[in-house]
Structure 1
Amino acid sequence: MSHDHDHEDSDYELDEHEHDPSHELVTIRDLLRFAVSRFNREGLFFGHGSSDAYDEAVYLILHTLHLPLDRLEPFLDACIPSDEREEVLAVIDERVAKRIPAAYLTHEAWLGDFPFYVDERVIIPRSFFAELLENALSPWIADADTVTDALDLCTGSGCLAVLMAHAFPNAKIDAVDLSRDALEVAGRNVFDYGLDERVTLIPSDVFSALAGRKYDLILSNPPYVTQEAMDELPDEYRHEPELALAAGADGLDVVRKIIAEAANYLKPGGLLAVEVGNNRDLVEKAWPDLPLVWLATQGHDEGVFVIRREELPGA
Structure 2
Amino acid sequence: MKVCTDACVLGAYADVGERAGGTVNNASGERLLDIGTGTGLLALMAAQRNPTATIDAVEIDENAFAQATENSAASPFAERVAVFHSRIQDFWSEHMYDRILTNPPFYTNHLRSSDAAVNRALHTDELPFGELVEAVVRLMKPDGQWWVLLPPYEAGKLAELAQKFGLHPFRRLSLQHHEQKPFFRVISGFSFVNAEPLDETLTIYEHKPQSKSGVAYTAEFRKLLQDFYLIF
Q: TM-score range by the shorter chain?
A: 0.5 to 0.7
CA change 1:144–1:128 in 2 (3 A) is: farther
Offset, 1:148: 1.1
Of 147, 150, 155 in structure 2, the residue corresponding to residue 280 of structure 1 is 155
How far apart, CA to CA, are the structure 1 residues paired with 2:48 and 2:75? 10
CA change 1:126–1:207 in 2 (3 A) is: same
Q: Which residue of 2 aligns with 1:152?
A: 34
DSSP 3-state at the match of 1:189: helix
Alignment of 1:50-129 (within 5 A): 123-126=1-4, 128-129=6-7
Q: Using the aligned pairs only, state the percent identity.
A: 22
Task: Return the structure number with greater strand share.
Answer: 2
Q: Which residue of 1 aligns with 2:72?
A: 190
CA contact (8 A) 1:131 1:297 kept: no
Task: Return the structure number with greater helix share.
Answer: 1
Superposed CA deviations along residues 93-124 of structure 1, whole A, max 9, x for unmatched, are xxxxxxxxxxxxxxxxxxxxxxxxxxxxxx21
Offset, 1:208: 1.7
CA contact (8 A) 1:127 1:221 kept: no
1:137 is aligned to 2:137: no
How far apart, CA to CA, are the structure 1 residues paired with 2:97 and 2:159? 25
CA contact (8 A) 1:269 1:309 kept: yes
Offset, 1:126: 1.6
Unmatched 5+ stretches in structure 1:
1-122
Q: Which residue of 1 aligns with 2:229?
A: none
1:308 is aligned to 2:191: yes
1:165 is aligned to 2:78: no
Superposed CA deviations along residues 219-247 of structure 1, whole A, max 9, x for unmatched, are 111111122xx21x7x7x95852111111
CA contact (8 A) 2:146 2:190 kept: yes
How far apart, CA to CA, are the structure 2 residues paired with 1:267 and 1:225? 29
Offset, 1:213: 2.0
CA contact (8 A) 2:57 2:82 kept: yes
CA contact (8 A) 1:152 1:176 kept: yes
How far apart, CA to CA, are the structure 1 residues paired with 2:83 and 2:12? 23
CA change 1:303–1:198 in 2 (3 A) is: same
Larger Rg: 1
CA contact (8 A) 1:223 1:247 kept: yes
Unmatched 5+ stretches in structure 2:
177-182, 195-232
DSSP 3-state at the match of 1:258: helix
How far apart, CA to CA, are the structure 2 residues paired with 1:282 and 1:144? 33
Q: Which residue of 2 aligns with 1:107?
A: none
Alignment of 1:186-225 (within 5 A): 186-225=68-107
CA change 1:310–1:203 in 2 (3 A) is: farther
Alignment of 1:250-289 (within 5 A): 253-278=127-152, 279-287=154-162
The one-letter amino acid of 1:277's match is P
- Count, aligned residues: 181
Q: Which residue of 1 aligns with 2:172?
A: 295
Offset, 1:129: 4.4
TM-score by length of 2: 0.65
TM-score by length of 1: 0.50
Of 220, 230, 244 in structure 1, the residue corresponding to residue 121 of structure 2 is 244
Relative contact order higher in (CA < 8 Å, ≥ 6 apart): 2
CA contact (8 A) 2:10 2:149 kept: no
CA contact (8 A) 1:145 1:170 kept: no
Offset, 1:302: 5.2
CA change 1:138–1:171 in 2 (3 A) is: closer
How far apart, CA to CA, are the structure 2 residues paired with 1:184 and 1:198? 17
CA RMSD for the aligned pairs? 3.1
CA contact (8 A) 1:151 1:173 kept: yes
Offset, 1:253: 4.3
